[in-house]
């Protein structure tokens, strides 16, 4: 097995809720994946609010999805 050392700030260490200075690669991947998911969700919400999509009803969203899918099918 190989060992990889990664340096992070105290702020990052606390942000990720790390308790120990050693963790498995799979645990690191899980932490990074969760943070990327959180960041992407936050960006999606920001964009939805910016373009007024956050005010759409579920029916309006479904209608938009159907229109895009129909358009994509007709372009093949």
The ranges assigned to domains in the chain are 10-74
How confident is the model at residue 46, as a pLDDT? 94
pLDDT at 76 over 80: no
Contact 35, 16 (CB under 8 A): yes
Q: Which residue has the tokens 């990327």?
A: 36
At 73, is the pLDDT very low, low, confident or very high (cuts 50, 70, 90)?
confident
Contact 48, 54 (CB under 8 A): yes
The pLDDT of 10-28, averaged and rounded, is 92
Summarised one tens digit per residue, pLDDT across range 28-58 is: 999 999 999 999 999 999 999 998 888 888 8
How confident is the model at residue 45, as a pLDDT? 92
């Amino acid at each position: 097995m190989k060992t990889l050392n990664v340096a992070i700030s105290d702020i990052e260490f606390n942000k990720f809720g790390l308790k120990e200075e050693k963790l498995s690669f799979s645990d690191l991947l899980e932490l990074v994946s969760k943070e990327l998911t959180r960041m992407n969700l936050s960006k999606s919400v920001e964009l939805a609010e910016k373009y007024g999509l956050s005010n759409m009803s579920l029916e309006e969203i479904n209608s938009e999805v159907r229109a895009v899918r129909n358009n994509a099918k007709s372009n093949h």
